Structure 1
Amino acid sequence: MSDRVPSAALWLGAAGALPFIALALAVRFAPVPGNFVAETLLTGYGTAILSFMGGVHWGLAMRDHRPWQYAASVLPALYAWPALWLSAETGWLYLGAGFALLLAFDFWAGLRGWTPFWYARLRPPLTLAAVGSLLFAALLA
């Protein structure tokens, strides 16, 4: 098995990190009302992406026929949803914790061969971008 991250996954994953970075910077540096719009969008984007990341495990469950993996795949979406009702700063910290927990689960799944070998190389920098952006926004907003 190759540990090389497919170029499409690498580039598209990096493209998906850009809104986290741009929105976190806008939260901090955009004038009112732009920073309020960025706050709302950052929470929404974080919620959507954490939910999307759970979908990875749905796809793997369909491939490998592991019923419990279907259940695990919906947990990120169920976890992320309350962030939409929390204060912006609390929601960003909450989402950051969710991304960190999902990364730990992804490593655990990878050690058991349930994810492609390269997936463990792709996830840390993308998680760092997401969590770092959410922390930046939460601590400096």
Structure 2
Amino acid sequence: MLRFIQKFSQASSKMLKYSFPVGLRASRTDILSLKMSRQQNFSPFPRPWLSSSFPMYMSKTQCYHTSPCSFKKKEKQALPARSPSTISYITDSPKPALYVTLAGLIPFVAPPLVMLMTKTYIPILAFTQMAYGASFLSFLGGIRWGFALPEGSPAKPDYLNLASSIAPLFFSWFAFLISERLSEAIVTVIMGMGIALHHEFFLLPHYPNWFKALRVVVTLLATFSFIITFVVKSIFPEKGHKRPDQV
């Protein structure tokens, strides 16, 4: 049996030498590769097309196959810088405007602060706080009217700008009209300030950013001071009167 296998291998090697046509002698590499494939597959017939087509197949595979490492890493695109928030523009406001605005907050903050210190609800102080808020609404309407009058102003004196400047005046007038019901009057002032702020930010966006920042601060602090007044009224007794549980 062993001699039969040796003879068979010698005969197959001779066939390999003469299997290629004239002028196309197979290289030693091709013959060795065919021998290895024959030994692995136990095929008695050589397949010369395997070695000749294998390099071409590998070249095509290399063209179509690309490892992830060969891709160039995409440069991270720089994200656009976020625009600063509106309140951050306060530092850009002129110093006189900043100091005058802070001083204008005193009539809003002083009444609830005094009532907290005395632990007493004082109606006259609450009324002065409401009256100052209503006057502030009139002031906001005058600012818009005056801003639209100069030539070259971005706010034209059209119906939109002039009518929106009168809107805070109606809230002010209505707050004084129902001033006997002080809580409802304070709510009217808060609503007027919120609507005026909405107009200045979205409907009429022509004011400078520092002015808008000051408007946000004033509106928030004024609203917070009114809320404190409501809390004081619900917790502490009114001046000159005692709560039923204290009698």
- TM (norm. structure 2) is 0.50
Pairing 1:12–2:100 present:
yes
The match for 1:77 is: 169
Residue 115 (structure 1) shift: 1.2
**In 2: Cα distance, 1:137 partner to 1:101 partner:** 21
| Partner of residue 157 from structure 2, selected from 66, 87, 98 | 66
Q: Which amino acid aligns with 1:102?
A: A
Alignment partner for residue 45 of structure 1, among 132, 139, 143? 132
Q: Which residue of 1 aligns with 2:223?
A: 131
* TM-score, L = length of structure 1: 0.84
**Partner Cα distance (2:98, 2:170) in 1:** 27
- Equivalent position of 2:232 in the other structure: 140
Aligned-partner residue type, residue 25 of structure 1:
L
- Please provide the CA RMSD for this pair: 2.0
Secondary structure of the 1:115 match is: coil
Give deviations 1:62-116, integer Å, cap 9, x for gaps.
1233222122111101112111214111211221121111111111122xxx212
Identity of aligned residues (%): 26
Higher-Rg structure is: 2
Q: Tell me if the contact between 2:112 and 2:232 (Cα under 8 Å) persists in the aligned partners.
A: no
Amino acid corresponding to residue 50 of structure 1 in structure 2: L
Provide Cα deviations, 1:38-73, integer angstroms capped at 9, x if missing partner. 122112111101111111101111123322212211
Match of 1:23 in 2: 111
Is this contact kept in 2: 1:96–1:135, CA < 8 A?
Answer: no
Question: Equivalents in 2 of 1:60, 1:100: separation in Å?
Answer: 20
Which blocks of at least 5 consecutive residues in structure 2 are unaligned?
1-88, 234-247
Gaps of 5+ in 1: none
Higher relative contact order (CA 8 A, sep 6+): 1
The amino acid of 1:57's aligned partner reads R
Q: In the aligned structure 2, how far is the partner of 1:9 from the partner of 1:125?
A: 13
Higher helix share: 1
Q: What's 1:88 paired with?
A: 182
Q: C-alpha displacement at 1:118, in angstroms?
A: 1.9
Instruction: After TM superposition, give the deviation of residue 138 of structure 1 in Å.
Output: 2.4
Tell me the residue number matched to 2:16.
Answer: none
- Whether the 8 Å contact between 2:141 and 2:169 is mirrored in structure 1 is yes
The answer to whether the 8 Å contact 1:53/1:76 transfers is yes
**Mapped partners of 2:193, 2:109: distance in 1:** 15
Matching residue of 1:97: 191
Contact 1:92 1:138 in 2 (8 A): no
